[in-house]
Amino acid sequence: MTVERTRPRESPGEPAGQALNGSSHTRAGPRGPADQHQDAGPRGHEQPHPGSEQGGHAAEPDIPFAATRISVEARAAVQRVLASGWVTTGHETEAFEKEFAAHVEAGLAVGVSSCTAALELSLRGLGLPPGGRVLLPAVTFCGVAQAVLHAGLRPVLVDVDPRTAMADPDTVARAARACGCPHAMTVLHYAGAPAPVAALAEAAQLPLTHVIEDAAHALGTTVGERPVGSLSRATCFSFYATKNLPIGEGGMVTTDDPELAERIRRARLHGMSADAWRRNMPGGSWRYTVEGPGLKANMTDVQAAVGRAQLRHLDDWQRRRHDIVRRYTAALEGVPGIEPLDVPTPGRHACHLYAVRVTPEYGRSRDELSELLAERGIGTSVHFIPLHHMPYFRDTATVPPGGLPGADALFPQLLSLPLHLELADSAVDRVCDELARLARKPRTPLPPPPAPAPAAAPPDPPRPTGLRTLVVGAGEAGRALARDLARTPQFGLDPVGFLDDDPDKRRAAVIGELPVLGEVDGVRETVLAHGIEAVVVAIPGLGRERFRQVVGAAEATGASVRYLPSFIAALRRDVVGSDMRALNVHQLIGRTEMHVVSPGARSTVAGRRVLVTGAGGSIGSELCHQVRAFGPSRLFLLDHDESNLHRLQLELYGDALLSDDIVISDIRDRPRIDQVFRELRPEIVFHAAAHKHLPLLERHPCEGVKSNVRGTENVVRAAAAAGTERFVLISTDKAADPVSVLGATKRLAELIVRDAQHTAPEGSVYTAVRFGNVLGSRGSLLSVVAEQLGSGAPVTVTHPDVTRFFMTVEEAVGLVLEAARMAEGGEVYVLDMSGPVRIVDLVRRFARSLNVPDVDIRFTGLRPGEKLNETLFSAHEDRTHTAHPRILAATSRAPGENPFALAAGLPDLYAATERNDTGAVRRMLAGLFPGFPESASGRQAPAVMADPYPDDF
């Protein structure tokens, strides 16, 4: 719809021109009676007017913003239809649908009463759930949002790029996160410019089957080489009086989906059977059926007859529109502050509007310029007032957090200049002359543009992209939790919706600006359908067995499940958002937590016999939780600590010691390990058992070799003998150019695994993953810091500049599972953790999160075996990209690390450990790894445990 901005001027005895919906006929230049047109807005009058004191074209005719051309053929067609006596939907409509579909290269077309009706009927035809969320640009015609609401759906406003006036992938993704996961999207080809339909659909995580194109401006547009009308599930065109194919009213839906076309044909006429319009024709029947909802939105044969006749002229008319646009663009290049909109993607522009931005460089505001042009008889318009500036849509539409700053910045500048077929070249030149004449350099600061209706809050700082998070429970606890997460992006969790069993909450569809996506038992389907990466259970009264079912279903999809507050705590009290602080420590590491594991990892584990060594440890436990959710045929838990095994089995199964799947064994005991593997014959092995405390291993290097090297060799040999198909070793970044016993022994473990690949049976895969410091694992940095802060003691840090790489438990386990899926054999995988984090900075951030603004830090000095800065790759390793965008592979180029040298050196190393000869062990490790110190230099202070600073992986 077009609203023109001009000033009416009347001559004595002659009224001003009427609005478009009146019956005024005006002339824009010499032409015969058959070429009369309706003015698109008021004041289309051609009366001379006096020049103003600022200059003008006295006695020149007005230039209306828009005008309608109805061809001679169209007028004759109307007469033919009127004479036939059949003026409603009939054969003319059928013929127009076929001709129009062929013109835009679509399979099918359905004529309707308007583009707004086309949008509503298309959305209804998608069969979306009541209250389903539909993305639409904030800068669009209000009828689009009304169509969404009339279809029983909820509009979700998408910000626009001020340079194009259209949504882009970034703004679409932000809106999609704000509403959970959208059900559908409308894409506007603004002004006739091509929109990147496929890229926007991808950003919304929607298939093209759930995209509706708003092509009200875009008849004649192509995206690349493809005409708009053949790109998505449905495309909606307008034949309003000012559009490129003017009829007066009417619209069209094009689609390649016969079922959708059939649904729209039924719905456009009260839901009646599609051929019901034939019932009053000769041979027709009075019988019809109604099988679903509908409305009165059919196209008439009168409209269709006009459309068929006009369609024959469309190519010529489009060439004229392009000529006008080229003339505007050339003439306005030298006018500062008048900037045409950019085109966001390659293709052909339909040139429905010529929209510009009036920037501060012009020296006048948009509204001032529009008034001055109106005084000179030049009509302009604004397309469109942003939806969130209108009270009704502020109450009924979802606005992303941070508001819609692009739309707010664009709107005060946006102005559409005259563009229609009656516009002569001289009129274009006059508009451009006036724009150039009215430009001025601002002498004083311009007043701010009129404030838009209070709607969006000032833009927030850029929000870090967090994991897409599903909150199970929309009660007080869940709402409080979601509210805190949304307000605190540092948590790294973006809540996108709720699950709840309460029918009232599901009927409400939206709770606290987040959608209710289904029932609690639908967690698996919801996670898969909406791309959920993390699940938080927030129902304090949820029964223990139901809790486990929810967690298991979530983990089975590859989503990480949040365990804080713990299950016991959840049963005893309400959840509050601050409880998440202890879990979401990734806010401290300077980057967003990554959801590493893919659903494809399930196929690696499902139905297989899986064994986890070190199962009772923090990494092993989390690994067991996620592996169990992927449906292994058996999950064997191996550890030498029976208490940890008991605890883990209670967590996994709700009982303990009632299954043969727990195995008490020490990996150093080769005969026992051989026996375990012979009996259990695991197909997949995750080897997490190890000594990992760096300072203690510096004091007891023999124990490190016994567990980390010989224990690993025992497990690898037993796995090979048992026919294990996939073996994954958990290593550490300290294995890169090692200078500590921990690093050296884990590098030897990596080499043992690599060499096993050379002799493994065909089809077997042996691989390793390197962890950084794992936040949230037992004895890790933050647990110690929290204890020190709680006791009031100073926090001990070794050095002011010490840095480490950090990862969360979820990232660590995800890396292991992905490595099991993608490994081909012999690789060492590393998570791309961006950059190292300074320990001092991490401690201070963590203290602030606990409301300790001034933390007392005491520096104790680097201890033996510690580096000031860790690396992920050694100097002799190449890093290569993998199929996963955030996982890298390390390949060794070190000449001394060959299988023969390793095989020759290990027996002597083992013999030294049996003698507990610390000096010999260190000398042998120094011979294997350049840079490793032969002696543990520095003080061996007993204060190591009194002032703990764990270096954990």
Catalytic residue positions, numbered: 734
Residue 558 CA to residue 553 CA, distance in Å, equals 9
DSSP 833: -
Contacts of 944 (CB under 8 A, 6+ apart): 695, 699, 863
Cα dihedral value 241, 242, 245, 250, nearest 10 = -40
Residue 193 CA to residue 202 CA, distance in Å, equals 20
Q: Look at strands 251-255 and 234-238 and give their pairing.
A: antiparallel
Residue closest to 614 by CA, chosen among 648, 656, 583, 660: 648
DSSP conformation letters of 19-79: PTTS--EE-SSS--GGG-EEBSSS-------PPPTT---TTPPPB-S-B----HHHHHHHH
Distance (Å) of CA 129 to CA 37, 126, 353, 557, 846: 44, 9, 35, 23, 43
Phi, psi of 642 (to 5 degrees): -65, -30
**186, 542 Cβ separation under 8 angstroms:** no
Peptide bond into 391 cis (omega under 30): no
**575, 478 Cβ separation under 8 angstroms:** yes
476: helix, strand or coil: helix
Cβ atoms within 10 Å of 450's Cβ, excluding its own? 9
Cα dihedral value 216, 342, 385, 449, nearest 10 = -160
Answer positive or negative: Cα dihedral of 756, 758, 761, 763: positive
DSSP 705: I
**577-614 burial code (b ≥16 CB/10 A, e <16):** bebbbebbbbbbbbbbbbbbbeeebbebbeebbbbbbb
Distance (Å) of CA 267 to CA 125, 161, 327: 9, 35, 44
**162-186 burial code (b ≥16 CB/10 A, e <16):** bebbbbbeebbbbbbbbbbbbbbbb
200: helix, strand or coil: helix
Torsion region of 830: left, alpha or beta (phi above 0 gives left; psi -120 to 50 gives alpha)? beta
Class of residue 270 by CB neighbours under 10 A (exposed 0-12, middle 13-18, buried 19+): middle
Contacts of 198 (CB under 8 A, 6+ apart): 208, 231
What stretch of H or E contains 234?
strand 234-238
Cβ atoms within 10 Å of 669's Cβ, excluding its own? 14
Residue 827 CA to residue 824 CA, distance in Å, equals 7
Residue 422 CA to residue 69 CA, distance in Å, equals 8
Residue 679 CA to residue 661 CA, distance in Å, equals 12
What stretch of H or E contains 728?
strand 726-732
Token pair listed for 209:
């089957």
**350-371 burial code (b ≥16 CB/10 A, e <16):** bbbbbbbbbeeebbbbbebbbe
Contacts of 406 (CB under 8 A, 6+ apart): 159, 160, 161, 162, 171
Token pair listed for 895:
């000449």
Residue 510 CA to residue 682 CA, distance in Å, equals 47
